[in-house]
Amino acid sequence: MTKKTIEKTESKKNTKTSQPKKQQAKSASKKKEKEVKAEKEEVKKELKKEKTDKEIIAELNDKYLRLAAEYDNYRRRTLKEKMELSKSAGEDILVNILPVMDDFERGLGNIDQAKDINAVKEGIRLIYNKFDEFLKQRGVKEIEAKEKEFDTDLHEAITKIPAPNNKLKGKVVDVIEKGYYLNEKIIRFSKVVIGE
């Protein structure tokens, strides 16, 4: 072989071997580029995730603050309503009791000029009946006590006296102050005298 042919064959070998090395280098650089791109994308995803986590936290914090403010407003409103209700709670009762007061005033105005005592007595009975009916409509009911067995759940003993007869021993002889129920709840105990 001549020198030229040897050089040609070597140059061919070199070009053949150099081409795969170049391709290998290109493919290696492409792999690195892909890896770098993948890493960049992962970092972007993590940043987005962190950003969304921060957004979620901010959104939840905003909701919490709004809920707390709403509850505070509700609490203030209900306290105000309760105060107004307590101020005017008895308004209905007072409005309905005013006609009884008017009847008393008319009766007192005419009592001095009255010549017939029976008419005065009748007027007082009418006013009493009107007031009694008003109380019944509101659920107020008298506790029956006279000549009943003494019951500490209903009666409050003021004193004891000798019983006028044996039937009244341990029973209520006299009622000093009547007791009342309000819709089956005792609002005032009867003050009574017991026979012994």
Give the strand pairing for 190-195 and 155-161: parallel
Token representation of residue 163: 């019983």
pLDDT tens digit string along 131-141?
999 889 888 99
Q: Residue 95 and residue 89: Cα distance in Å, rounded?
A: 11
SS (H, E, C) 39-73: HHHHHHHHHHHHHHHHHHHHHHHHHHHHHHHHHHH
70 pLDDT band (50/70/90 cuts)?
very high
Please give the pLDDT value at position 3: 59
Rounded to whole angstroms, how far apart are CA atoms 135 and 139? Answer: 7
Is a pLDDT exceeding 90 seen at residue 69?
yes
C-alpha distances out from residue 159 to 10, 150, 175, 193, Å? 140, 12, 11, 5
The model's confidence at residue 52, banded by pLDDT at 50, 70 and 90, is confident
Cα(90)–Cα(154) distance, rounded to whole angstroms?
Answer: 26
Spatial distance between the Cα atoms of 113 and 90, rounded to a whole number of angstroms: 35
Q: Is the pTM higher than 0.85?
A: no
Q: How many CA atoms, within 13 angstroms, populate the side-chain half-sphere of residue 12?
A: 6
The larger pLDDT score, comparing residue 96 to residue 14, is at: 96
Task: Please provide the size of the chain in residues.
Answer: 196
Average pLDDT over residues 77-86: 89
Cα distance between the two ends of the chain: 156
Residues 6+ apart with CB under 8 A from 54: none
